[in-house]
Amino acid sequence: MGEDTIKNIHYLVMKGIDKEFAGRYRLNNVVISGSKHVPLSYIQVTSEMEKMLAWYDDVKEKLHPIELAALFHFKFVYIHPFRDGNGRTARLLMNLILMQHGYSPAIVKEVIE
């Protein structure tokens, strides 16, 4: 898993919705509608993504694949690196990790209250 994979998946998810920003880290601060979590400043996105990918490389052979996929998903959405499409991209990346280890994809429904 690397930055190119993440950006390519985001591009594929978003190219028909917001092609200008598809596959590109956000260049502004964002809020998540309906959430109390305030994502990191856009200034921190690149360095936090680098840290997350270094973490992934360090633990990918040590953690159980299900735990790895879940933690990767959590860390990704916490950083919220893109302007839009973070949840969709996170779920695809989580399933990529699961499938690389022989597991079936997990179906996670979004809950909007």
Distance CA 40, CA 21 (A): 18
Q: Is 38 part of a structural domain of the chain?
A: yes
Q: What is the CA radius of gyration of the chain?
A: 14
Q: Which domain holds residue 44?
A: 3-100
pLDDT of residue 111: 65
Which tens digit of pLDDT belongs to each residue from 24-78?
Answer: 999 999 988 888 889 999 999 999 999 999 999 999 999 999 999 999 999 999 9
- Please give the C-alpha separations between residue 69 and each of 6, 61, 72, in angstroms, as whole numbers: 14, 12, 5
Q: Which of 85, 65, 73 is nearest to 11 (CA)?
A: 85
pLDDT of residue 108: 72
Q: Is the pLDDT of residue 113 over 70?
A: no
Q: Is 111 part of a structural domain of the chain?
A: no
Structure tokens at 40: 């990191």
CATH number of the domain that residue 75 is part of: 1.10.3290.10
Give me the catalytic one of 37, 73, 80, 101.
80
Which tens digit of pLDDT belongs to each residue from 98-111?
Answer: 999 999 999 877 66
pLDDT of residue 100: 96
Q: Is 113 part of a structural domain of the chain?
A: no
Q: Is 87 part of a structural domain of the chain?
A: yes
**Number of folded domains that form the chain:** 1
Q: Is 22 part of a structural domain of the chain?
A: yes
Q: Is 42 part of a structural domain of the chain?
A: yes
The C-alpha angle with vertex 14 and arms to 81 and 4, in degrees rounded to 5, equals 55
User: Under a CB-based contact definition with an 8 Å cutoff, are residues 24 and 7 in contact?
Assistant: yes
Evaluate if pTM is beyond 0.85. Answer: yes
Q: Is 108 part of a structural domain of the chain?
A: no
Does the annotation count 101 as an active-site position?
no
pLDDT of residue 50: 98
Structure tokens at 46: 């690149």
Q: Is 109 part of a structural domain of the chain?
A: no
